[in-house]
Structure 1
Amino acid sequence: MSVIYSTLTSILNKISDEFHESFLFSTIFSILRFVEKGWVNSYFKKLYPNENFLSFLNKNNILRNHIFNPLIVLFLFAIFLLLSMTAPSKSLVITLIVAFVAFFIGSTILPRYFLNDSAENILKFEKRDIYSIGFCLTLVSIVFFFISIASVGGIPLLKPSIRYLLKPAFTMPVFLIIPATCLIASAYLKDFQDGKIARSQARFRFLFLLLIDCAFLLILGYRTPLLAAFLIIIIIGFYGNIISLWEVAVGAAIGVGAIIGIGYFRSVGEMTITSSTNPFYTLQSRADFTLHVLNLLDFIGGDFGVTHGQVLLSSIPGSELGPRMMIGKLIAWRTEVTITPTLIGQMVADFGKVGVAVQMLILGLTLGIGFKLMQKTKDFFYIGIYSLILTYSILGIETGILDIQVLLYFAIAIFIYLINLVKVKN
């Protein structure tokens, strides 16, 4: 396995070096260094609030040390359920209790029995390799972005109706900009940790990465991937001491505002609501509809499920129906629509309450081990990979963890964590 990794990273390093040495990219990076220098030395930067702004937040131990603990998934899931105007059935209440208890055991109790020895045997990754992988993923994303725009003959942000003409085969590679952002930001964090760049330089580079994500993803009219990039930057920045706690709080408020605002204006543009409708209605209606879907799936799935893995397997490219289309077929016999089933929707449809217990336990344990490994090592890579899987766990509260690329991120994280568990044990 190490031979494959070494060969792959060697190729990607060469590709990255070739692009960086090209006239186009050397010019771009020269301009960015000039802008970065101007940013760092800017007089207006002094007007920005310092570390002590909203200092009362730092007095809260939970916020200061555990704001991105894996249990935030349960906290946000509970809030999402409370937003709904639909009451869960008695059976669904039991399913939710099973899900919450299993996740709590996996994320909080079981990790106590692992990684308690020295961190010397933890697998280490080279910063150059991580940066090159992220840079090459960005190149792939940019290429498919232009292919996606050309395929629909317009800009989905300006004409929302053509967003539904976008082909998944073209848009899925665009979303690689999310793990690319994670890896590049992690590499910048390593430079900051090693003293190669100042904190203000790291903050500028994080902001620039986020602006690139906004430019590409907003033009395509997608909000969930944009929120993913936003969350990743915040989590890496927070645990890397690049972003302050008050900035996390403000960023969370902006994120919630973006969810409400983008959903509201998209709904107005698609004429599903009028401009006089309460903007919060779009959020409540989404929660209401999604919980209604979950009620139906729980009824269908029962204790042992009905599809027995078919929903999860439908994530594989080439499947006749995607996982969210299969959910639509299950509850409404309509294969032309995609329906978000919440974090546990697929679990209960495939394997019932038993499946919910097992899969939520695995998800909790993955996040729990990742959180412990990150805190133990303070390593740039483990901060990055934890931010990636936690981000998609949070977003999966509504959408489910069903996209093949997201499942691949979790598979890679689990594989790396397992290697570490074996190395530390030996």
Structure 2
Amino acid sequence: MYLLKNSFRYSRFVSIIFSLVTFSINSLRRSRFVALLSFTAEKIINIYSISCLRRFVNSLFYPARLWGFIDRLNSRLNFNLLKPDRIFILAYASFILVSSYTISLKALVFLLVTLVFFVFGFTLARRVSFTRADFESASLKAGVLLYLFSLLCLMLDIYYVREIPLLEPIARKKLSVLLTYTSTFIVLAGLIIASYIAWEYYNGRRNRSDARVKVFALALTTTFLVTLLGFRTQTLVSLLGFTFVMYRYALIGNFEIISAMASGLLAISALGAYRAIRIGYALGISHVIGKRVGVTLSIYNYIVNNLFYVSHFSGYNVLLTGVYHGRIAIATFSSFLSFIPGPSLGPRTIVAREFGVTGVTLTSTLLGPVSLDLGLIGSILFLFILGVIIGLAFKNSIATASPLATAFFSILFAYLLVGIETGLVDFNVFVLFSVSLFISIAYMAEGRKR
């Protein structure tokens, strides 16, 4: 670990990154535009100070007797649930157990080997030290601006379609890819604002009831808005992300986080059942989870078993190196940015074509696309990198209590949990993970200056 820290300290590349980060931060602080944005953000947030609105919202989101009862329950459930590596392993195990399909021993061993490297990467990243940096006010301004911009994109996206995709699932195919991707950043923006409000309570600048009401109102509003797009992934990411933020700053306890996860699972199943009914399939809520998970796991199982089979009989070790040799990874970028050479189809579409399916995409768990693309070696590296990025984001949030760090950890971890089923192959998700890594470096840069 000593060598790792020294290599960070004396690396020219990292020094250049540190200099760029410091220059960007200083430029942002001196900007007149930031001052104007700060004024706008303050006015928007302080709308809640209107007394009649505050009384209405308090009665709706903060019934004193109910919260008193919940707080008494939390006092009896006094243990730390927020352990990302353990939650991830437990979530993956639960995903397999609720499935209507049983995977082979080969597919299970393949999965277990990669999960070991996720835990290793997470543990290694947690040993890196962080120093608190004064990014709070800048993060609030950036959060409000991003929220307004994402909301505008969401409204334009729905306006051009002339239908609400939540109510008409077929309308999702008409959505603009660019506007839809940009619209999903409303969740990140909401988490940044919520983290700042919760951070004020955490530091004694705001009372608990006031912070709870504002964060709950923001969480419900943001989740409702992003759900209009009709994508279950974004709904669940929003629910989980706000839950992690509130738990990190002690706005909620173990009772609420367990209830939120159960509610999220129920919501995603209900949305899936509704969409199935709308397109002519009669599926109950209880069947959605098992059947969908079963289909996803069966695709992953088929991919891994075929890698073993081809490696054994053909003499080509595709089990270790995969079939596409990076083309599926490149498709994450080339399918969104046309100037990048590579496949025009998205990763999930490429997986679907492997099974002779056209017109729809197929999910194959977190490991399906990367195992088909890069084999066991690529899957190990992929999970290790995820572990490092999640570990850095988590350690940054815990060590500095920063709203920005907490917001990014919350959304990354939410995407990771949802990605167990859907995979992490979308361009916007790559952007989030990359920016989170950049922010971790920024906090290390501030610590290095001191």
TM, length-normalised to structure 2: 0.82
Could you tell me whether the CA contact under 8 Å between 1:102 and 1:357 is conserved in 2? yes
Match of 1:302 among 319, 340, 364: 319
Checking the alignment, whether the CA contact within 8 Å between 1:98 and 1:356 is kept in structure 2 is no
1:149-199 C-alpha deviation (Å, 9 max, x unpaired): 121112223333323322212211110101101211122123223333211
Q: 1:374 Cα deviation (Å)? A: 2.6
Q: Structure 1 residues 87 and 336 mapped into 2: Cα distance closer, same or farther (>3 Å)?
A: same
Q: What residue identity is the alignment partner of 2:296?
A: T
Q: Give the percent of matched residue pairs that are identical in Structure 1 and Structure 2.
A: 26
1:355 deviates by 1.1
Structure 2 Cα separation of the partners of residues 162 and 32 of structure 1: 39
Give runs of aligned pairs for residues 149-188 of structure 1, distance below 5 A.
149-188=158-197
The match for 1:16 among 37, 40, 65 is 37
Alignment partners' CA distance in 1, 2:184 and 2:158: 14
The answer to whether the 8 A contact 1:160-1:266 is kept is yes
* C-alpha distance in 1 between matches for 2:213 and 2:127: 39
Pick one of 92, 97, 108 that aligns with 1:77: 92
Alignment of 1:276-287 (within 5 A): 277-287=283-293
Per-residue deviation at 1:229? Answer: 1.4
For the pair 1:345 / 2:368, whether they are aligned, the reply is: yes
CA distance in 2, matches of 1:181, 1:384: 9
Tell me the residue number matched to 1:241. Answer: 250
Q: Does 1:114 align with 2:108?
A: no
SS of the residue corresponding to residue 220 of structure 2 reads: helix
- Equivalent in the alignment of 2:379: 356
1:322 aligned onto 2:323? no
Aligned pair 1:366/2:389, yes or no?
yes
Q: Is the 2:322–2:375 Cα contact (8 Å) retained in structure 1?
A: yes
| Equivalent pair of 1:324/1:340 in contact (CA under 8 Å) | yes
2:372 counterpart letter in structure 1: A
1:378 aligns with 2:398: no
Structure 1 CA distance for aligned equivalents of residues 144 and 173 of structure 2 = 29
d(CA) in 2 for partners of 1:240 and 1:230?
16
TM-score for both structures, normalised by structure 1: 0.87
* Equivalenced residues, count: 408
Q: In structure 1, what is the equivalent of residue 9 of structure 2? A: none
The residue that corresponds to 1:46 in the other structure is 64
Taking structure 1 as reference, are residues 399 and 32 closer, same or farther at Cα in structure 2, changes over 3 Å only?
Answer: farther
Structure 2 residue runs without a partner (length 5+): 1-19, 308-317, 339-343
Q: Root-mean-square deviation (CA), in Å?
A: 2.7
Amino acid at match of 1:348: S
How many Å apart are 1:377 and its aligned residue?
2.8
Distance 1:422 1:15, change over 3 A: closer
- Give the match's secondary structure for 1:76: helix
DSSP 3-state at the match of 1:70: helix
CA positional deviation for 1:8: 4.9
1:256 aligns with 2:265: yes
- Confirm or deny that 1:232 pairs with 2:241: yes
Q: How far, CA to CA, are the matches of 2:264 and 2:247 in structure 1?
A: 16
Distance 2:27 2:75 in 1: 50
Q: Which residue of 1 aligns with 2:315?
A: none
